[in-house]
Structure 1
């Protein structure tokens, strides 16, 4: 476990006390981690604790309205001309048919059909909305009464992007440089996503198994920090998959089991709609419970997924749809099915048993390394603020940062093969290594990477896990399509 005093000194304004019982209350209220930490930061005393639970409950009820309060907000907007500011997730869409912007607030039931953003408001707030197609923010609604043939609609009066911290990547890198022990830094990152590193240690566990469990938990963050990383994780239940992808970050999207359409993922081509899909504005799209997922058109979806996962863009109805979102497939399987040589895709829908689709997955997350989540694994104490950390990861996805870290990886890693090297395989390993470097060594530079200690740690924390994740993908392709892949072998990857 990390040194708490050191953590608070290196991150003086971005730590928060994560009280075990209090976190349970927020989970019961279905409040995401990044919102929880923002609220705790505002309401906690100097000791980091919240003593007045009743006052906290009243504040939460005021700032984050429940879905059943839609009618109250509607009446407030209509009667008073505006609502009180509240926190919610908003999505924006331009309607070329009416030449207007509309918005939706899915959690409260406001839809594009009964909303509008007037031009004078759009001109004031568009800089906070363009590029993200919406997001979490402080919102104030108004009401526009019916006029002639136009029906009444709710208007967006104010929007302030939800980012309560001043984010400085250089300051973050400087703070990371204070941690000479990468093991301690790994524990800091676990605390940032609500896990207590000491809780991963069970009686009789080997030290290496504990390390693998912690490292695997953090591997799930690669799509948060590196653009267009495609992963699959098939693991036992209750290992925290849905929590990581659904509750930690406001920039990603967890699509639950059920039906999923091309329109939802890429673009809605209905006349007058032209609504951008999830991949165009989310950092990642995690498709949960893939055993039960149903696509509205399997053949169409398989083709479009392969195109997007390969190139980062597809053509839908003559429109080019681009995105930086990684595609993540999540599913539950028994531990017994996670042994070398076993077909781990055997119970999945046919669309996921296409070797051409699997080949576009960069890595297989070894979720079986993580034990079922127990109370001891939940953070209880001072930790890095989740909201701050997810903002850092989002900023590290920028093209400039990705080029910088990829350049360092290219300097470090050399590839050898007796035959032709697969470009997909090499790109997968290098992309995973780049994400890992951002996660574990954000302070890396051209001088640091030349040191023997760094090379050794990069091999352990970045290169070896990346190769293993791609190796598992190849093994599954050999099982599913032996005619094409049985004689395929990975190249060898070394640190120069």
Structure 2
């Protein structure tokens, strides 16, 4: 095991499980992850391989014997009849039969309805009265000749969820992990491989947990298909429910006026709407008005009766166009149904998560390492809902006075949610708080910017704040704003009609020392628009980068060589020297690659040479035209692409960046 896995097992013994085990036991069972991990937590919450192996077999047997597959429901019924009673795992929903004055259960997979269930079980587990809860239960069979007698009877029942957690123990154990380690633990807990995610990408994933930890939090996420937008709301917690956007009704969501039954918001911590987008979808306008009132006031009414509830609302759906298209021609809410495309409704959103920044899930993005049993994490998050951390940012920062009360509330709730998730022990620095506050402001600003495009009566807001300790002022822009403001490095006056830069001293003289900051998940960046102009008129290039060894790093270097060939005078030879480091595992392959490069580049007038130096760690491009480009991350500025069949592999501007800084220094001629 790696060091992080050892640490998790040391401080959270019995509360973690190896995440690849879920796939081993799932088979063809259509059952949420939290159900499987609940069982794995009973038998496999350890790092002992022998115990894990035995536990996996035990869980497989439990699933095989007790989980009800729809196509085997008649066999299970027969087994119950023959044995008199049998233990099963199924999703159970309960309704009150007022004619017979009794509660009756229905079973999603077994196909049974109107099965009597005791009042005591309903009082103990009231969530059964909503849309269904996964349970382990004993179902009995008692035949009788009485008229209208139902032979089925629920003898015992236990919802599949951890009964209680020690929240102080959880907070105490958090202190043994630094910020990066803890975020990795959380990412592994929801099944993802943290090595495949940047800091901002991790924040995007963890923000999906905020509705579970913050009362009455309204979140919308729109983006392309295949990014796991809805997965976390259906699989990761018994306290959240995912429903189709087309199945929403006033009775189902809030209250049934005919029966008086409370709807989903009365029983669940999170109600998520899948497939929420779609311009042609028909929507009950009355429902939208009730939702607006609930999202703003945390209450809904039936006649003269007013009910309060704490359920968070999440809306996920697919976009129809690219971000650049929407930014230029419409707005980021354009995919929503007509009746939800309402500024008053959308103004209730505390945050807009940019789903287009979340990469499509690939096999290597899933983890086989240790993480919390998701049901344990779900109970922790539920406990943390009781805490109010919405004012914690004021310890270090003061928001601009132009930010409205609704905007401030939105920012504070996103901030508080992420704070509870990442710093549950409340031990964080000003720098830690700034990272989260910037992200929280950005997600509210994204909402407000679109509202202003939709309705000009919304006033412009200065989304900025001041550090109380230094007085420094910070203004926040959304990432898509920054990307759409990208300008080429070469001044427009020095670009020829065919868009090729003039190779003249005038370009060099017009350049200035300075710095460019690239943010996590930013796109639209290429070597050319970053530093292409600084390469002009150089004939000697000295590249220092310790990590030019793996295939994608070698690709990056060749793309730099290609740019140099485009910037140099065709009739002039230039020198290109690389200083890098290596190890025994990769050095022979690297030497072979460099030798092939030498021959290839020579035909283009580039004389390539290289050397290995194990003691370098700086990264730069130094040239004999008087400029030095200091590369914070070296040439490795992009996140992984999807491989050969992903167009991003071939177009730098389409790739997603890692956070880094590039500095331009004048070193003399």
Match of 2:384 among 396, 399, 422: 396
Q: Match for residue 103 of structure 2?
A: 101
- For 2:27 and 2:460, locate their aligned partners in 1 and report how far apart those are by CA, in whole Å: 46
Answer with 1 or 2: which has the greater Rg: 2
- For 1:348 and 1:306, locate their aligned partners in 2 and report how far apart those are by CA, in whole Å: 16
Say whether residues 1:18 and 2:14 are aligned partners. no
Q: Match for residue 365 of structure 1?
A: 353
Q: Match for residue 169 of structure 1?
A: 167
Match of 1:152 among 150, 153, 157: 150
In the TM superposition, what whole-angstrom CA distance separates every residue of 1:391-412 from its partner, at most 9, and x where no partner exists? 2112212xxx323x33544545
Give the secondary-structure state (helix, strand or coil) at the position aligned to 2:306.
Answer: strand
Q: CA deviation at 1:245?
A: 1.5
Closer, same or farther in 2 for the Cα pair 1:2/1:269, shift >3 Å? farther
Say whether residues 1:455 and 2:430 are aligned partners. yes
In the TM superposition, what whole-angstrom CA distance separates every residue of 1:180-212 from its partner, at most 9, and x where no partner exists? x21121111000100010123xxxxxxxxx221
Closer, same or farther in 2 for the Cα pair 1:305/1:464, shift >3 Å? same
- For 1:490 and 1:96, locate their aligned partners in 2 and report how far apart those are by CA, in whole Å: 56
Closer, same or farther in 2 for the Cα pair 1:368/1:62, shift >3 Å? same
Judge conservation of contact 1:290–1:348 (CA < 8 Å) in 2: yes
- For 1:63 and 1:294, locate their aligned partners in 2 and report how far apart those are by CA, in whole Å: 43
Give the secondary-structure state (helix, strand or coil) at the position aligned to 1:350.
Answer: coil
Judge conservation of contact 2:224–2:356 (CA < 8 Å) in 1: yes
Q: CA deviation at 1:221?
A: 0.8
- For 2:416 and 2:142, locate their aligned partners in 1 and report how far apart those are by CA, in whole Å: 49
In the TM superposition, what whole-angstrom CA distance separates every residue of 1:406-447 from its partner, at most 9, and x where no partner exists? 354454553331x4x422111111111111111011001xxx
Closer, same or farther in 2 for the Cα pair 1:495/1:50, shift >3 Å? farther
Q: Match for residue 418 of structure 2?
A: 436
Q: CA deviation at 1:29?
A: 2.9
Give the secondary-structure state (helix, strand or coil) at the position aligned to 2:103.
Answer: strand
- Structure 1 range deviating more: 92-101 or 252-261: 92-101
Q: CA deviation at 1:217?
A: 1.0
In the TM superposition, what whole-angstrom CA distance separates every residue of 1:51-71 from its partner, at most 9, and x where no partner exists? 797765443122321123333
Judge conservation of contact 1:93–1:276 (CA < 8 Å) in 2: no
Closer, same or farther in 2 for the Cα pair 1:223/1:89, shift >3 Å? same
Q: Match for residue 478 of structure 1?
A: 452
Summarize the alignment of residues 1-80 of structure 1 with structure 2, pairs less than 5 Å apart. Answer: 3-19=4-20, 23=23, 26=26, 28-44=28-44, 46-47=48-49, 49-50=52-53, 57-78=60-81, 80=83
- Structure 1 range deviating more: 141-150 or 368-377: 141-150
Structure richer in helix, relative to its length: 1
Q: Match for residue 390 of structure 2?
A: 406
Unaligned runs of 5+ in 1: 201-209
Judge conservation of contact 2:16–2:373 (CA < 8 Å) in 1: yes
Q: CA deviation at 1:325?
A: 1.3
Unaligned runs of 5+ in 2: 469-669
| Count of aligned positions | 460
Q: CA deviation at 1:311?
A: 1.4
Closer, same or farther in 2 for the Cα pair 1:259/1:132, shift >3 Å? closer
In the TM superposition, what whole-angstrom CA distance separates every residue of 1:158-184 from its partner, at most 9, and x where no partner exists? 1123234651100100111111x2112
